[in-house]
């Protein structure tokens, strides 16, 4: 197995939120296009996966709104997130197998932590909408730290919250920026195939890819890797 190194000593599971716990990326795309259209930007899902998804709002604003003052950029990005929350309210569904994996983690007393570049209001809305808020020991927000993804700091904070070491943790990500952050923190990463294909996820640094959380190799990590 590719991730044999974490078996029998797994200390934590760390999850991105958007595109990982739930496939919310189509809603983000709709919100980006609604808010960015007056600035001459239009995105399809492939372009969004390359240029937007997984990145911090600060970096997106700096790249796509370079002529706006910083406070105006922040206001535009806040408007985009408000549009997204309106679209997402009551509309989020978990990726296949998520509840099964979380049940196995709970039974094995393996802590789970969310690590995201999303604003806290978005993260809390999605976790609440999925009914899994109480499953997570902590929710780490990249924009609340000196550096967001693709910097490793959010995942290092996630490890600290879980009291885990990188070699005894597994991260789940769907974006290049997220995989870069997790792997830079030394964490074995599973790429979820919501926006990127297997080859793209592996090229970004994922150890394996999966379409669902209840695939055999994913569940084997928890079943075999519970603390002894």
* Domains defined for the chain, CATH in brackets: 7-23+92-225 (3.40.50.1000), 25-88 (1.10.150)
Entry pTM: 0.86
Which among 195, 182, 157 is positioned nearest to 16, based on CA atoms? 182
Q: Is the Cβ–Cβ distance between 130 and 92 less than 8 Å?
A: yes
Angstrom distance (rounded) from CA 66 to CA 76: 12
Strands (E), the chain: 12-15, 112-116, 138-141, 169-173, 188-192, 208-210
Q: Known catalytic residues?
A: 16, 18
Strands (E), 122-175: 138-141, 169-173
Q: Note the Cα 123 to chain centre separation in Å.
A: 10
Per-residue model confidence as pLDDT tens for the chain (228 residues) = 444 455 458 999 999 999 999 999 889 999 999 999 999 999 998 898 889 888 888 899 999 999 999 999 999 999 999 999 999 988 899 999 999 999 999 999 999 999 999 999 999 999 999 999 999 999 999 989 999 999 999 999 999 999 999 999 999 999 999 999 999 999 999 999 998 999 999 999 999 999 999 999 888 877 665 554
């Amino acid at each position: 197995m590719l991730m044999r190194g974490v078996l029998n000593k797994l200390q934590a599971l760390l999850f991105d939120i958007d595109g990982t716990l739930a496939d919310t990326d189509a809603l983000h795309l709709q919100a980006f296009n609604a808010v960015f259209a007056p600035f001459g930007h239009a995105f399809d899902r492939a372009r969004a996966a390359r240029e937007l998804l997984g990145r911090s709002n600060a970096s997106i604003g700096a790249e796509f709104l370079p002529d706006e003052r910083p406070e105006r950029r922040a206001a535009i990005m806040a408007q985009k997130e408000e549009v997204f929350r309106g679209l997402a309210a009551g509309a989020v569904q978990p990726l296949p197998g998520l509840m099964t994996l979380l049940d196995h983690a709970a039974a094995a007393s393996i802590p789970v932590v969310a690590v995201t570049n999303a604003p806290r209001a978005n993260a809390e809305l999605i976790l609440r909408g999925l009914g899994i808020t109480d499953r997570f020991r902590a929710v780490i927000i990249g924009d609340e730290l000196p550096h967001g993804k693709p910097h490793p700091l959010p995942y290092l904070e996630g490890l600290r919250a879980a009291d885990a070491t990188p070699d005894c943790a597994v991260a789940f990500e769907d974006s290049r920026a997220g995989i870069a952050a997790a792997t830079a923190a030394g964490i074995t990463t599973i790429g979820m195939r919501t926006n990127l294909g297997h080859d793209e996820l592996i090229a970004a640094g994922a150890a394996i890819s999966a379409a669902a959380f209840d695939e055999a190799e994913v569940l084997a990590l928890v079943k075999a890797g519970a603390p002894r």
